Amino acid sequence: MRSPFTLLARIVNGYPKVVVGLLLVVLLASFYGMTMISMETGTDGYLDRSTTFGQNNHEYTSTFSSDAMILLVETDDSTGIEQLQFLNSLEEDLRQQQNVKSVASIADLIKQANGGNVPTSAAEVTAIKGSIPKSLLDRYVPSNTFTMVQVSLDAGLSTDKSTAALNNIQSLVSSTDVPPGTTVSVTGSSAFQKQMAAEMGTSTGTLIGVAMLLMIVVMGLLFGYVSHRFLPVLIVAVGLVMTFGIMGLIGLKISMAAIGAFPILIGLGIDYAIQFQSRLEEESRKGTLVEAIRHTIENTGPAVFYAMFATAMGFAALFLSPIPMLQGFAIVSIVGIASCYAVSLIGIPVFARLVNYRPKGIHAEVHEATGYDRFLGTLSVRIAKNPLPLLAVVGLVALVGVALDPSIPISTDEKTFVPQDMPALVLMEKVSRTMGSTSPVPIFVKGDGADSLESMNWMIEFEDYALEHHGDRLTGATSIADLVVQYNGGTMPATEAELQAVLSAMPEAAKSPYLSGHGTAQIQFSSTRMEMPVQADLKAQLEDELAFINPPPGIVAQPTGSFTLFTKLIGDIAENKDKMTVLGFVLVLAVLLLIYRKIDAGAPLIPIVAVVGWNAVAMTLLGIDYTPLTATLGAMTIGVAAEYTILVLERFLEERERYDDVYVAIEHSVQKIGRAITVSGLATIAAFSALCVSNFPMISNFGITTVIAVGFSLIGAIVVMPAALVLVDRVQTRIEHRRDAGARPVT
Give mean pLDDT, residues 718-726.
89
Would residue 253 count as lying in a domain?
yes
pLDDT at 700 (0 to 100): 79
Same domain as 675, residue 631: yes
Same domain as 575, residue 545: no
CB 516 within 8 A of CB 64: yes
Give mean pLDDT, residues 138-162.
73
Same domain as 117, residue 227: no
Instruction: Note the pLDDT tens digit of each residue in 442-488.
Output: 889 998 888 899 999 999 999 999 998 888 888 888 889 988 888 88
In angstroms, the CA 653 to CA 518 distance is 71
Would residue 204 count as lying in a domain?
no
pLDDT at 675 (0 to 100): 80
Same domain as 32, residue 158: no
256 pLDDT exceeds 90?
no
Q: Estimate to the nearest angstrom the gap between the alpha carbon of 156 and the chain centroid.
A: 24
Flag the least confident range among 341-355, 455-469, 520-534, 651-665. 520-534
Last residue of a domain, one of 178, 194, 210: 194
pLDDT at 367 (0 to 100): 45
Last residue of a domain, one of 496, 525, 554: 554
CATH code, 107: 3.30.70
181 pLDDT exceeds 50?
yes
pLDDT at 355 (0 to 100): 92
In angstroms, the CA 430 to CA 421 distance is 12
Torsion of CA 490, 495, 501, 507, to 10 degrees: 40
Q: Which of 474, 445, 428, 444 is nearest to 561 (CA)?
A: 444
pLDDT at 12 (0 to 100): 93
CATH code, 274: 1.20.1640.10
Angle between helices 532-548 and 561-596 (to 10 degrees): 110
pLDDT at 431 (0 to 100): 60
- Helix spans in 251-323 (H): 256-284, 289-295, 301-316
Cβ neighbours of residue 585 under 8 Å, at least 6 residues apart?
Answer: 605, 608, 609, 638
Q: Phi and psi dihedrals of 75, rounded to 5? A: -160, 170
Give mean pLDDT, residues 25-52.
76
Give mean pLDDT, residues 227-237.
89
Same domain as 156, residue 244: no
Same domain as 233, residue 179: no
Same domain as 395, residue 250: yes
Give mean pLDDT, residues 174-178.
84
pLDDT at 30 (0 to 100): 92
Please give the model's pTM, rounded to 2 decimal places: 0.69
Most confident of 40-44, 643-647, 723-727: 723-727
Same domain as 466, residue 357: no
Mean pLDDT of the chain: 81
Would residue 205 count as lying in a domain?
no
Give mean pLDDT, residues 27-51.
75
Would residue 560 count as lying in a domain?
no
Same domain as 458, residue 545: yes
Domain carrying residue 141: 67-194
pLDDT at 68 (0 to 100): 65
Flag the least confident range among 141-150, 543-552, 575-584, 603-612. 141-150
CB 148 within 8 A of CB 70: yes
CA distance readout (Å), 7 to 298, 342, 719: 9, 15, 36
Would residue 61 count as lying in a domain?
no
Would residue 48 count as lying in a domain?
no
Last residue of a domain, one of 523, 554, 585: 554
pLDDT at 93 (0 to 100): 87
Same domain as 690, residue 584: yes
Give mean pLDDT, residues 683-701.
76
Question: Given phi > 0 = left and psi -120 to 50 = alpha, else beta, which region is 449?
Answer: left
291 pLDDT exceeds 90?
yes
Would residue 79 count as lying in a domain?
yes
Instruction: Note the pLDDT tens digit of each residue in 675-691.
Output: 878 887 887 787 777 77
364 pLDDT exceeds 50?
no
Instruction: Note the pLDDT tens digit of each residue in 80-99.
Output: 788 888 888 888 888 888 88
100 pLDDT exceeds 60?
yes
Residue 349: which pLDDT band, with cuts at 50, 70 and 90? very high
Residue 353: which pLDDT band, with cuts at 50, 70 and 90? very high
In angstroms, the CA 146 to CA 134 distance is 16
Would residue 114 count as lying in a domain?
yes
| Number of domains the chain is built from | 3
Same domain as 536, residue 632: no
Same domain as 387, residue 242: yes
